[in-house]
Amino acid sequence: MKAIRRFTVRPALPERLAALEALVGNLRWAWHLPTQQLFSEISPGAWRDYQHDPMSLFGEISQDRIDELAADDAFVHRANTLRDDLERYLHEPRWYQELEGEKPGLIAYFSPEYGIAAALPQYSGGLGILAGDHLKSASDLGVPLVAVGLFYRAGYFSQSLSPDGWQQETYPVLDPDGLPLRVLRQPDSSPVVITLSLPDDRVLSARVWVAAVGRVTLLLLDTDIPENTDDLSRVTDRLYGGSEEHRLQQELLLGIGGVRAIRAWTEQTGVGQPDVFHSNEGHAGFLGLERIGDLIRGGLSFDEALQTVRAGTVFTTHTPVPAGIDRFSSDLVRRYFDADLLPGVSVDDILALGSETGAPGGAFNMAVMGLRLAQRANGVSKLHGSVSRGMFSSLWPGFDANDVPITSITNGVHAPSWTSPELTALAEATWGNPETAHADWTSPQLSTSALWETRNVMRAELVADARRRVTRAWNEQNPGGLAPNWLSTILDPDVLTIGFARRVPTYKRLTLMLHDTDRLKRLLTDPDRPVQIVIAGKSHPADEEGKRLIQKVVEFASDPEVRQRIVFLPDYDISMAQKLYPGTDIWLNNPLRPFEACGTSGMKAALNGTLNLSILDGWWDEFFDGENGWAIPSAATTDPVERDRLEANAMYELIEHQIAPLFYERNESGDPERWLGHVRHTLATLSPRLTADRMVRQYVAELYVPAYSSQAVLRHDGYRAARALAEWKRRVTAAWPDVSIVHVESGGLDATPQVGDELRLRATVRLGTLSPDDVAVQVVYGQSRTGDDELHDTRTQDLEIEIDPDRSTDQSEGTSLFTGSVRLRRPGGFGYSVRIVPKNDLLASPAELGLISTAS
């Protein structure tokens, strides 16, 4: 009989084991090895079977075992010591507390998904894992963050395969009581309920779960409560499922409900309101509207409120694929905001924020709204920053893509979560310090054989894990049957192992390796230098093409000739990933450039000494140095068939002629010394730069602190500067059609200019009703190449006002004269242009208003 409802009964822990309660209750265990070791001792088998989930472990152990532990003085002592250590971690000053200068008191972080631990499956892929890593590093650094998301009853989905290799999805329902979560309550202990007014006088209600992620609080909104009708209780049923309207309801809840949840939480805890809001991707963008609504009800106009909200908002875009951006029909958005959702905010103002073209109608674009609601925005690698500036340049017409105000902060990964315990132990044994990111990996203090031994253990663990997983999958597929023997001998712990695991959208090209199956077969079965491949990945449930790709791989891998050397592991998740990255020798990534915004799995691999073999896309474009792995050249052709052929062949060539020979080359002690040289180099040079600590420090310095300062200025003295800025923008925008460059004269150079000469410029401009203080008249100069009008490697310099018509008595006919000079600093083609842009100290970029006037 199937249960209609299930719940978890927690064992009664005796007083002597109270420390365990504290240790389980804070997710810091997810990245604290000593705490995990303590949990594993409770029941090593259950710890492994439940994928390192202490809550499930406690649901499983007997009262006898608990009594036994309570009587074990050494165990109790260690639990108490670890609890004291946790307490210290939660309260001691860390990096952020030592940071000088004005800084935010609280930053609110919004994300549609969070990958923190396998035990809390609230993620589908890279975006969620990144958010989880962001919280963990913020916690380690002491950055005061409160995070908001949704609690999905069924998370993403569990993947299994039908006998013919077709992806099957199941949605195991989570029991929040069996997770390290507690309900946010009022002082009278009744649960806090967040409400949103919907069309047709309906109300969406949500309760708020609180998770402790180290020092960071994570609030998760959950609509599965009795206050809701059946259909509304399903709003948070699963991640990225359902109709357009369902998705809109989720995003309204995340953005608007999220801000309300934070308000309720700050009231309960006495913490002040956040100064800075960070939206991880566009899904949470409605958060800005809720805050605008608040300010409007406090007496500001829409434009004044918008300036204030923008100043304190950071938006991170994650997709270089226009089709990957979240859009809604404007009619649907109108219907929701026509209701009582945000009293005081006009629907037309809202629709204008999400309009792609600036004209009414058309799609409502969450990324576009995200960019309009955030004064600071970034992509997630250098290359992605540049691609994003091009992709969104139409929002700043007239500006070069280079001027588009989207910067980049390259993603990082949380080292304590993603470094294998074996490598940590090696660092500890060698240098007396378990921190792998700052160890001296190239020093002879670490012997080649010790490093090789550790790498071998890491690979052997993956092989054992893969065998367990395929056997379990076979048993699930064939209940009552006896798993064939070959399943328990798949893969070889001594063979060069290539890993490939990620979501399966088309651009990631899961099946590129199958381009020439004969050649692949030869690589896998080479008698001297065999290669083996471990593959994993989930396809979005609605993506039939992705499922077909998985099926092709599974089909190929079932061939008895190769099935020991290539395996597809179902149900890719954090717990699998933690074995996969350290256990492979090569991490393969072959996306279509430039569609991989950053990619973080290769970073996690590198942190473990795995070498990357990848297209120069995302992070690899920035970090490949010729020693830390291999670059698959991108084909310079637009023909997709030809491109795949060229890139697949380049990949086979690299594996056959460079990677395998290097891996199998051994010194007299039998160690692959040269290979390990690359491993050492990777660990020494990449680990420190790929960490989420580096990323979060950059967010603090480059985005959070500047956003904090901007919003503080605007809010000061009853929003005086916000009112002035809104008025100034209105005035400048209205006057802009009359702004123009009349002519530009140059002088100072003779017929053959030389390096060191000075180019003098005089620009006569018309400013209409604006004053010279409202604008910057700038010379933009740089390299100019023959046969190409574009300037390259440009610099910008302001010209100075010489004659202001208001203050001059001569016949300037209402024009102003700006002058300046540029020194020629390098030989070769030189070009320049002159432009006028709005100028105000409160702008973060001269492109902010999208207004520009250029010399023609």
Rounded CA separation 126/281 (Å): 12
Number of residues lying near ligand PLP (CB under 6 A): 12
Q: Is 500 in the site for ligand PLP (CB under 6 A)?
A: no
Q: Is 604 in the site for ligand PLP (CB under 6 A)?
A: yes
Q: Is 129 in the site for ligand PLP (CB under 6 A)?
A: yes
CB nearer ligand PLP, residue 327 or residue 538: 538
CB of 572 to ligand PLP, least distance (A): 6
CB nearer ligand PLP, residue 167 or residue 778: 167
Contact range with ligand PLP by CB under 6 A, out of 2-10, 244-252, 551-559, 596-604: 596-604
Rounded CA separation 170/543 (Å): 15
At 248 the three-state DSSP class reads helix
Q: At 722, list the tokens.
A: 């916000």
CB nearer ligand PLP, residue 364 or residue 572: 572
CB of 411 to ligand PLP, least distance (A): 8
Q: Is 393 in the site for ligand PLP (CB under 6 A)?
A: no
CB nearer ligand PLP, residue 381 or residue 853: 381
CB nearer ligand PLP, residue 129 or residue 373: 129
CB nearer ligand PLP, residue 241 or residue 599: 599
Q: Is 502 in the site for ligand PLP (CB under 6 A)?
A: yes
Contact range with ligand PLP by CB under 6 A, out of 335-343, 428-436, 571-579, 683-691: 571-579
At 58 the three-state DSSP class reads helix
CB nearer ligand PLP, residue 386 or residue 614: 614
CB nearer ligand PLP, residue 260 or residue 538: 538
* The only residue of 54, 126, 257, 772 in contact with ligand PLP, by rule CB under 6 A: 126
At 199 the three-state DSSP class reads coil
Question: How many other CB atoms are there within 10 angstroms of residue 815's CB atom?
Answer: 18
Q: Is 379 in the site for ligand PLP (CB under 6 A)?
A: no
Site for ligand PLP in 645-704 (CB under 6 A): none
Contact range with ligand PLP by CB under 6 A, out of 271-279, 557-565, 595-603, 657-665: 595-603
CA distances from 386 to 137, 379, 393, 597, 845 (A): 26, 8, 11, 10, 16
Is the CB of residue 594 less than 8 Å from the CB of residue 204?
no
CB of 212 to ligand PLP, least distance (A): 22
**Which residues are within 8 A (CB) of 52 and not within 5 positions of it... i.e. 6 or more apart?**
36, 39, 40, 117, 118, 119, 575
**From the centroid of its chain, how far is CA 586?**
23
Rounded CA separation 25/181 (Å): 8
Q: Is 587 in the site for ligand PLP (CB under 6 A)?
A: no
* The only residue of 53, 251, 573, 585 in contact with ligand PLP, by rule CB under 6 A: 573
CB nearer ligand PLP, residue 294 or residue 596: 596
Amino acid in position 734: A
CB of 824 to ligand PLP, least distance (A): 45
> Following DSSP, what letter does each residue of 730-743 receive, concatenated?
HHHHHHGGG-EEEE
Nearest to 131 by CA among 23, 47, 213: 213
The sign of the torsion formed by the CA atoms of 762, 766, 772, 777 equals negative
CB of 699 to ligand PLP, least distance (A): 18
* The only residue of 601, 610, 612, 682 in contact with ligand PLP, by rule CB under 6 A: 601
CB of 499 to ligand PLP, least distance (A): 11
Q: Mask 157-176, x = binds ligand PLP (CB under 6 A)?
A: --------------------
CB nearer ligand PLP, residue 235 or residue 615: 615
The sign of the torsion formed by the CA atoms of 85, 132, 591, 387 equals negative
* The only residue of 232, 296, 342, 574 in contact with ligand PLP, by rule CB under 6 A: 574
Contact range with ligand PLP by CB under 6 A, out of 288-296, 307-315, 598-606, 626-634: 598-606
* The only residue of 600, 610, 612, 778 in contact with ligand PLP, by rule CB under 6 A: 600
Contact range with ligand PLP by CB under 6 A, out of 27-35, 540-548, 567-575, 652-660: 567-575
Contact range with ligand PLP by CB under 6 A, out of 375-383, 558-566, 572-580, 664-672: 572-580
Rounded CA separation 492/498 (Å): 12
The sign of the torsion formed by the CA atoms of 430, 431, 434, 438 equals negative
Is the CB of residue 845 less than 8 Å from the CB of residue 396?
no
CB nearer ligand PLP, residue 605 or residue 767: 605
CA distances from 454 to 497, 601, 613, 687 (A): 15, 21, 21, 17
CB of 502 to ligand PLP, least distance (A): 4
Q: Is 414 in the site for ligand PLP (CB under 6 A)?
A: no
CB of 362 to ligand PLP, least distance (A): 31
Q: Helices 302-311 and 366-373: crossing angle, nearest 10°? A: 90
CB nearer ligand PLP, residue 275 or residue 573: 573
Q: At 430, list the tokens.
A: 């060698």
Rounded CA separation 781/758 (Å): 13
Contact range with ligand PLP by CB under 6 A, out of 314-322, 348-356, 396-404, 599-607: 599-607
* The only residue of 154, 577, 696, 836 in contact with ligand PLP, by rule CB under 6 A: 577
* The only residue of 54, 112, 121, 125 in contact with ligand PLP, by rule CB under 6 A: 125
Nearest to 795 by CA among 782, 784, 777: 782
Contact range with ligand PLP by CB under 6 A, out of 96-104, 123-131, 549-557, 562-570: 123-131
Is the CB of residue 532 less than 8 Å from the CB of residue 580?
no
CB nearer ligand PLP, residue 115 or residue 142: 115
Q: Is 586 in the site for ligand PLP (CB under 6 A)?
A: no
CB nearer ligand PLP, residue 326 or residue 573: 573
Element holding 264 (H helix, E strand) = helix 258-269
Rounded CA separation 124/63 (Å): 36
Nearest to 531 by CA among 663, 690, 439: 663
* β-sheet with 496-501: strand ranges across: 566-569, 531-536, 496-501, 586-589, 611-615, 629-632
Q: Return the HEC string of 481-540.
A: CCCCHHHHHCCCCCCEEEEEECCCCHHHCCCHHHCCHHHHHHHHHCCCCCEEEEEECCCC
CB of 116 to ligand PLP, least distance (A): 11
At 355 the three-state DSSP class reads strand
Q: Which residues bind ligand PLP (CB under 6 A)?
A: 125-126, 129, 502, 572-574, 577, 599-601, 604
